[in-house]
Structure 1
Amino acid sequence: MALVSEEIKARSEMYHGDEMGQIKSKELLKEVGLPNGLLPLKDIEECGYDRESGFVWLIQKKSSTHKFHKVGKLVSYAPEVTATVEFGKIKKLTGVKVKELMVWLQLNEICLNDPPSGKITFKAPSGLFRTFPVSAFEIEEKEAEKGKLEVKEAGGAVEVKEV
């Protein structure tokens, strides 16, 4: 947690646990106009958002990889992912790499192109970039809801069922 200072944490919204981390990371992406499937992290321990500066961090138990099947790209997420967000853009991104041919490239920026185009661009510090359809990084609402639990309490009994 080298990049997240106590000063930043003190003025940020913070959430703990995988379930809240999944919900809040998707809400944040939606809030800044980005596709909700950009951060498919696993076992999130903590996430935070400093609205004043736009600084965001997500901490997961260990590194994870995810294949975005619609574009055929393998992406690696470090245990700590940080960025600064603004509408339609993620800047100063750390902890995210994409595999191009046989080389892992660090990503440092993600931005929407002209909104009507439906395209999103991923940039590396070296100047390399790739543009893909935004739809390749969207999670359908029904898919996002799969596996959620509903808890009902009635007369002292608790019923839990998968929705």
Structure 2
Amino acid sequence: MHNTVKFLQQFYVHFDVNCNGAEIVKGDVECKKKLVQLLEELSLPKGLISLENVEEFSYNRNVGFIYMVHSKEKDRTERTFKKIKQVVSYASEVTAYVEKEKLKKISGVKTKELLIWFLIAEVYIEEGSKEKLRLRWTLVFPRAP
């Protein structure tokens, strides 16, 4: 229990530092506008992040940190990328660090391959190619009962 409390304290300090001075937008329509604007600014595809049911979006340009809150009605938002036949699941809260052509240290996003879920840690455009999008991921191990 002590480790959980310590982790949460570290998370909130980290989160507070990264959101301090951030531009915060609320409301689905305004959040969509800001997200599309940011993706264009970073030269990333518009459809990369789920734009559905976003209630809050914040972006701290100084540290390149983004924070999104999807509607609490659902625990997760799933999206299928038809072109590559891939299901991506977004938690109600998603965070990442952003820079030109890259999202890194992503939390709250995972993808399913066969029957295994993988946490997406980084998304970037391959150097020298404006069309190849690459993912770095980690395996999600199920918890023991």
TM-score, with normalisation over the residues of structure 1? 0.71
2:5 is matched with none
Structure 1, residues 54-80: CA drift from partner, whole Å, max 9, x if none? 000110114100000000000000000
Equivalent position SS for 1:45: strand
The residue type paired with residue 42 of structure 1 is E
**Cα offset, 1:23, TM superposition:** 1.2
Q: Is the partner of 2:33 in helix, strand or coil? A: helix
CA distance in 2, matches of 1:105, 1:94: 12
Residues 29/113 of structure 1: CA separation in 2 closer, same or farther (3 Å cut): same
The SS at the match of 2:47 is coil
Per the TM alignment, residue 87 of structure 1 is displaced from its structure 2 partner at its CA by 0.3
Which amino acid is 2:113 matched to? E
Structure with the higher fraction of residues in helix conformation:
2
Structure 2 match to 1:155 = none
- Alignment pair present for 1:86 and 2:111: no
Following superposition, the deviation at residue 44 of structure 1 comes to 1.0
Q: Distance in 2 between matches of 1:21 and 1:2?
A: 23
1:100-126 CA distance string (max 9 Å, x none): 111111000001002435201011035
1:26 aligns with 2:36: yes
Percent identity, please.
33
Aligned residue identity for 1:47: F
Residue from 59, 64, 74 that aligns with 2:77: 64
Structure 1 pair 43/125, CA: closer, same or farther in 2 (3 Å)?
Answer: same
Q: Are 2:121 and 1:111 aligned?
A: no
Structure 1 pair 117–51 and aligned structure 2 pair: CA distance change class (3 A):
closer
Task: State how many pairs are aligned.
Answer: 126
Flag structure 2 segments of 5+ consecutive residues without an equivalent. Answer: 1-10, 140-145
Choose the corresponding residue for 2:23, options 13, 17, 20: 13
Q: Which runs of 5+ in 1 are unaligned?
A: 127-163
Structure 1 residues 30 and 46 mapped into 2: Cα distance closer, same or farther (>3 Å)?
A: same
